[in-house]
Amino acid sequence: METMSFNVDKYRALFPALQKRDSPIFFDAVGGTQVPRSVIDAVTDYFINKNGNKGGVFPESRATDEVMDRTRELTADFLNAPSPNEIMFGPNFTTNTFGMSRALAKTWKKGDNIIVSRLDHDANVSPWIRAAEDSGVQVRYIDITNDGNIQLDTEDYAKHLDKRTRVVAFCAASSSVGTKTDVKKITEMAHGAGALSYVDAVAYAPHGPIDVQEWGADFVGVSTYKFFGPHVGLLWAREELLRELPAYKIRPAPDELPGRWLNGAQSYETLAGVNAAMEYLQSIGQDHPEYNSQFPQLTGRRQEIKAGMQAIRDYEATLTRKFLNDISTLPQYTVWGAKDEASDVWRVPTIAVSRDGEKSNDIALYLAANKVNIWSRSVYSISLSERLDLEKTGGFIRVGLVHYNTPEEIDRLLELLDSYKKTY
């Protein structure tokens, strides 16, 4: 279902950064999105009216406790998690994964192995490699199928998976070439071998509804600064794991959930901003009730958030198809990943582009000089860039489309890509 009623101008008007007279075109969303005014206001309101550390008896402290409780509730709704007690906070996905990998490593034994993926951002690779080194367990890699779509190779995965596999770490969508993975299938295969699945959903989260219960995974991480909120990482895990795993924590920290994994003071002001970001997504769902019927198992806020994310997904699909169709008229550029008419089924609107003989950073500098923000080089997907033989040739530029982008902005980007080297 594709909505024709998505009012991009209405949503753009809510983002102060997009309203500046000298505002650039933001195609850098995979590294971090802009935020709506409500998020800025929520952070400001926290500092003025609620600024106090957690756990006290005075009003500001109690207000902070309420902010944290609401963040867990809204995040549980966003992910369709069974319980708010399953939500953990942290500065970003990388830091959260370093912490959780250490806890899981305490349960590993010599002769065990873990599996990571060549499709992933290094945030879901290096923490596991370091933990494996510390524990003396083997690291195995899932390869990709370099057949144009750049999928995880499930046949290769099956060869590496055995009864001594303890964790399979992989992404829901690539943060560089945009490929979606079959989270449910990969998780079922992991569980069949007795392994846990740890899913990096950071690059997926801005672009469509997430249902951790449907995925069946054991851990799913997101970062709200990738979907219109502040710099906060959120990690969901099954409640029984959070109760049983050894938690690295200070002595005053409770041994009960949700505080069992909460060390020290948090960035409470940004958690207030997270709540506003979630409410913004809910408001998009309220604008598009026609999507509610796609989520009959849900009601209320959970259904509205999912409806909003589905409306976003369908609008972004039109942007993706336009970009892929129009860049095909520029044969000097290569698009990595799915690029056919059904590409939105296989990818999120994160698109890696390279040009033979040109360093991606030079192209990004040219675009920046013309007020287009875009990322370049390997963008932390080092294993993939190496596997595609792009690392030694300067990597790629990464076009990150989100729902506040427009077809006219895509036209401007393609115009600049076509003129590159003619004027620079």
**Helices 268-287, 37-49: crossing angle, 10 deg rounding:** 140
Give 251's contacts (C-beta < 8 A, 6+ positions apart). Answer: none
Do the Cβ atoms of 39 and 230 come closer than 8 Å? yes
What is this structure's pTM? 0.95
pLDDT the model gives residue 387: 83
Q: Which helix (H) or strand (E) holds 68?
A: helix 59-79
Q: Which residue did the predictor score with more confidence, 178 or 378?
A: 178
Residue 1 is predicted with a pLDDT of 40
| pLDDT band for position 394 (cuts 50, 70, 90) | confident
Helix (H, G, I), strand (E, B) or coil at 341: coil
Neighbours of 22 (CB within 10 A): 5
* pLDDT on residue 258: 92
Identify the residue with better confidence: 395 or 201.
201
Q: What is the pLDDT of residue 341?
A: 61
Question: What is the DSSP secondary structure assignment for residue 173, as one 8-state letter?
Answer: B
Q: What would the DSSP string read from start to end of 206-235? A: GGS---HHHHT-SEEEEEGGGTTS-S-EEE
* pLDDT at site 4: 54
Question: Rounded to an integer, what distance in angstroms lies between the CA atom of residue 117 and that of residue 122?
Answer: 9
**CA–CA dist 360, 212 (Å, integer):** 36
The pLDDT assigned to 342 comes to 63
Triad 200, 203, 206: Cα angle to 5°? 120
Q: What percent of the chain clears pLDDT 90, i.e. is strictly above it?
A: 86
Give me the helices (H) in 249-406, please.
268-287, 300-327, 343-346, 360-369, 382-387
Q: Is the pLDDT of residue 347 over 50?
A: yes
**Phi/psi at 141 (5° precision):** -115, 135
**What radius of gyration, in Å, describes the C-alpha atoms of the chain?**
21
pLDDT of residue 340: 74
The average pLDDT across 59-67 equals: 96
pLDDT band at 339 (very low <50, low <70, confident <90, very high): confident
Percent of the chain at pLDDT exceeding 70: 97
d(CA 214, CA 81): 10
Give me the chain's average pLDDT, please.
94
Residue 264: its pLDDT value, please?
Answer: 83
Q: Give 258-316 pLDDT, tens digit per residue.
A: 999 988 889 999 999 999 999 999 999 999 999 999 999 999 999 999 999 999 999 99
pLDDT at site 423: 60
Is residue 146 over pLDDT 90?
A: no
Over residues 51-56, the mean pLDDT reads 93
Confirm if 171 and 119 have CB atoms less than 8 A apart.
Answer: yes
Mean pLDDT over 144-157 rounds to 89
Confidence of residue 3 (pLDDT cuts 50, 70, 90): very low
Query: 128-158 burial, b if ≥16 CB within 10 A, otherwise e?
Result: beebbeebebeebbbbbeeeebbbbbbebbe
- Quote the CA–CA distance of 14 and 34 in Å, as a whole number: 10
pLDDT band at 250 (very low <50, low <70, confident <90, very high): confident
Per-residue confidence (pLDDT) for residue 2, from 0 to 100:
44
**Sheet strands (E) in 24-147:** 25-26, 87-90, 113-117, 138-142, 144-145
pLDDT digits (tens, 9 = 90+) for 312-336: 999 999 999 999 999 999 999 999 9
The pLDDT of 92-103, averaged and rounded, is 96
